[in-house]
A and B are shown apart, each in its own frame.
Chain A
Amino acid sequence: MQISVSLQYLPILLVAGIVFIIGVAMVTINKFLSVKRPYPEKRVAYECGLPPTGQPRHRFSIKFYAIAILFVVFDVEAVFLYPWAVTFDQIGLFAYVEMVIFIILLLVAYFYAWIRGAFQWE
């Protein structure tokens, strides 16, 4: 009995193993099989076909992070709205009220960001 319970999960382990092997194989086999004819231009980092203009690791403005956080507001909203909308006719009025409350709370956050000027770039 004990063993069969553990065996139920064996396929998951197998899938995980296969995925891992394929992933590693794709990276390593390429290294062995590919034909290598390097020349200087090929070794330069690819930047839209243009010569590189600078290092990629410079500091980004904090404003990008504010935008990213704002995105989360809508992202989470969508994540919750979708399953709610799919099962709407089964879960009824209670879930509707809950969702309205949830959206109002998100709107508070949205308006707060708006009032504090998160949408003004300068």
Chain B
Amino acid sequence: MWSSLPSFVAVYPETILVVVASALVLLDRVVKFKDVFTWITLATVAVTLGVVYWTVGTSFAFSYAADSYALFFKTIFLLVLLLATLISPGYGRVVGIHFGEYYGLMMYAVAGMMIMASAKDLVLLYLGLEVMSLSVYVLAGLLYSDMRSLEGAMKYFLLGSFASAFLLLAITYIYGLTSSINMEAIANYLGTHGLLANKALLFSLALFAIAFGFKVALVPFHMWAPDVYEGAPTSVTAFMSVGPKAAGFAAMGRVFLLALGTAKVGWTHFLIPLAVVTFFVGASLAVVQTNIKRMLAYSSVAHAGYAVLGIIAGTKEGMSATMMYLFIYALMNIGAFGIIILLRQKDFLGESIYDFQGLSKTHPVAALLMLVFLFSLAGIPPTAGFVGKFYVFRSAFEAGHPLLVIAAVLASCIAAYPYLRVVMLMYMRPPEKEVTLNLTGYLFTSLAISLTGVLLFGVWPEPLIHFARLCCGLAP
């Protein structure tokens, strides 16, 4: 009757995040000096990271696994939380979102992402997705006196709920076919019963592709991205351009490679056209943007297209390349958003690309940092962006998709233009506006971490590659 308690070790990291987040949310009224919340968040990131490494290999029944695959993604999520927390205080004080709930919501979102990365059960996966999404919807609408922020949050909420419905329908079909929601059981059933010609299975695969496509913003399910990225507070944009995307890829990897691995032929049919359209449309639309946040939104759409190549490859090699790509993307993208935040003043948005005009004359160091991050986003060696792209492309090439890789390389040529245009404006035009920097110690630390990561992994990527391959179960 009174069964003994199972071990809760596998969910310790998530528990810590939720407990601390709840405490921050409740304490906000009492604490007047809001920087305390930043410190607590930073300390929690450190503690959680330690616990994540300590709990590797544990599992919670058959539905939740703190395995090495989840370990890598949780490292990405905590890196994103760390960098996003560090860029927040200075910006938060300017726009008035420097309070406990802000940090609490980010932690709730990261807890949801961790659940997504660890879930081996489709319903649990959905639950993690909702925890993450609901927190991010609220974060996107935090500047509720600004119509753009409200519009973005509303769009994100409506389209995100729509995508969740797709995910649920896909899970329903899989359950109907295999009578299981556990990923390993589904994989076993599909392996032994050969349902590959089943129309319902194909339909379910398409629904999964659509649901994840919404979450990681693949064309044509990217419509929400530019408006949300533009409207949301910039620090939140930095957070959500990487965190939920990485979580979406974590779930995609588990579902497509583990649960539906035998149906690979089916889902590559859906993902290949999505990827091709994504990196071409993302790159081309980034060219015409003059708002830098919108430009980075379309660039993040294109980057999702490159990252999906590793999943299409369908090998462990490919998955490890995607994971490494997301890690590097976190460093360089939050770095670029950090520079945008650096320019933000009370009465100066610093969001038009023409605000960067002549930055090298007035603030050479800031311009140089932006140059490095933009070069990395464009994939120019010796920055980390090149390494990430190289491994993703190589894995897709080795898996037998040479035409796809050629298309991706062509698209990344187009995608280089918007980045280089900002560089051109910074270095080859005279300054027009008076730009003052809003530098805090936190932001400085964040930029230093990003810069170190981008340059270090650009010239010495071995440790990261080994780590990613190890986490995918490949011998180093």
Chain A residues in the interface with B (C-beta under 8 A): 89-90, 92-94, 97, 105, 108, 111-112, 115-116
Interface membership of B475, Cβ < 8 A:
no
Closest to B8 in A: A97
Judge whether B5 and A112 touch: CB under 8 Å. Answer: no
Q: For the complex of A and B, list the 6 residue pairs with the smallest distance between their C-beta atoms, beginning with the closest.
A: A108-B22, A92-B2, A92-B3, A93-B2, A115-B29, A112-B25
23 pairs across A/B with beta carbons < 8 Å? A90-B1, A92-B1, A92-B2, A92-B3, A93-B2, A93-B3, A93-B4, A93-B5, A94-B3, A94-B5, A97-B5, A105-B18, A105-B22, A108-B22, A108-B25, A108-B26, A111-B26, A112-B25, A112-B26, A115-B26, A115-B28, A115-B29, A116-B29
Interface membership of B194, Cβ < 8 A:
no
B-chain residues with CB within 8 Å of residue A111 when the two chains form the complex = 26
How far, in whole Å, are A116 and B25 apart by their CA atoms in the complex?
10
A-chain residues with CB within 8 Å of residue B1 when the two chains form the complex = 89-90, 92
Closest to B104 in A: A112
How far, in whole Å, are A97 and B25 apart by their CA atoms in the complex?
24
Closest to B6 in A: A94
How far, in whole Å, are A90 and B26 apart by their CA atoms in the complex?
36
Q: How many A-B residue pairs have CB under 8 A?
A: 25
Closest to B22 in A: A108
CB distance from B205 to the nearest CB of A (A): 24
How far, in whole Å, are A111 and B22 apart by their CA atoms in the complex?
10
Interface string of B1-36 (1 = CB under 8 A from A): 111111000000000001000100110110000000
CB distance from A7 to the nearest CB of B (A): 18
7 additional A-B pairs beyond A94-B5, A105-B18, A115-B28, beta carbons within 8 Å, are A92-B1, A93-B3, A93-B5, A97-B5, A105-B22, A108-B25, A115-B29
Closest to A116 in B: B29
Closest to A101 in B: B15
A-chain residues with CB within 8 Å of residue B4 when the two chains form the complex = 93
Closest to A89 in B: B1
CB distance from B473 to the nearest CB of A (A): 31
A-chain residues with CB within 8 Å of residue B5 when the two chains form the complex = 93-94, 97
Closest to A111 in B: B26
How far, in whole Å, are A100 and B29 apart by their CA atoms in the complex?
26
CB distance from A69 to the nearest CB of B (A): 13
A-chain residues with CB within 8 Å of residue B26 when the two chains form the complex = 108, 111-112, 115
CB distance from A2 to the nearest CB of B (A): 14
Closest to A90 in B: B1
B-chain residues with CB within 8 Å of residue A116 when the two chains form the complex = 29
Closest to B4 in A: A93
How far, in whole Å, are A92 and B6 apart by their CA atoms in the complex?
12
CB distance from A50 to the nearest CB of B (A): 39
Chain B residues numbered 255-289 whose CB sits less than 8 Å from any CB in chain A: none
CB distance from B135 to the nearest CB of A (A): 13
How far, in whole Å, are A36 and B404 apart by their CA atoms in the complex?
73
How far, in whole Å, are A93 and B25 apart by their CA atoms in the complex?
30
A-chain residues with CB within 8 Å of residue B18 when the two chains form the complex = 105
B-chain residues with CB within 8 Å of residue A108 when the two chains form the complex = 22, 25-26
How far, in whole Å, are A90 and B18 apart by their CA atoms in the complex?
29
How far, in whole Å, are A68 and B207 apart by their CA atoms in the complex?
34
CB distance from B439 to the nearest CB of A (A): 33
CB distance from B104 to the nearest CB of A (A): 9
Residue among A89, A90, A97, A115 with the most chain B CB within 10 A?
Answer: A115
CB distance from B335 to the nearest CB of A (A): 34
Closest to B30 in A: A115
How far, in whole Å, are A112 and B23 apart by their CA atoms in the complex?
10
Closest to A114 in B: B26
Residue among B2, B4, B18 with the most chain A CB within 10 A?
Answer: B2
How far, in whole Å, are A116 and B30 apart by their CA atoms in the complex?
11
CB distance from A51 to the nearest CB of B (A): 40
How far, in whole Å, are A121 and B4 apart by their CA atoms in the complex?
47
How far, in whole Å, are A97 and B26 apart by their CA atoms in the complex?
23
How far, in whole Å, are A50 and B277 apart by their CA atoms in the complex?
64
CB distance from B15 to the nearest CB of A (A): 9
Closest to A96 in B: B2
CB distance from B5 to the nearest CB of A (A): 6
How far, in whole Å, are A63 and B28 apart by their CA atoms in the complex?
22
CB distance from B324 to the nearest CB of A (A): 35
How far, in whole Å, are A108 and B29 apart by their CA atoms in the complex?
14
How far, in whole Å, are A53 and B76 apart by their CA atoms in the complex?
61
Residue among B6, B18, B22 with the most chain A CB within 10 A?
Answer: B22
CB distance from A63 to the nearest CB of B (A): 17
CB distance from A24 to the nearest CB of B (A): 29
B-chain residues with CB within 8 Å of residue A94 when the two chains form the complex = 3, 5-6
Closest to A95 in B: B3
B-chain residues with CB within 8 Å of residue A93 when the two chains form the complex = 2-5
A-chain residues with CB within 8 Å of residue B29 when the two chains form the complex = 115-116
Closest to A91 in B: B3
How far, in whole Å, are A97 and B4 apart by their CA atoms in the complex?
11
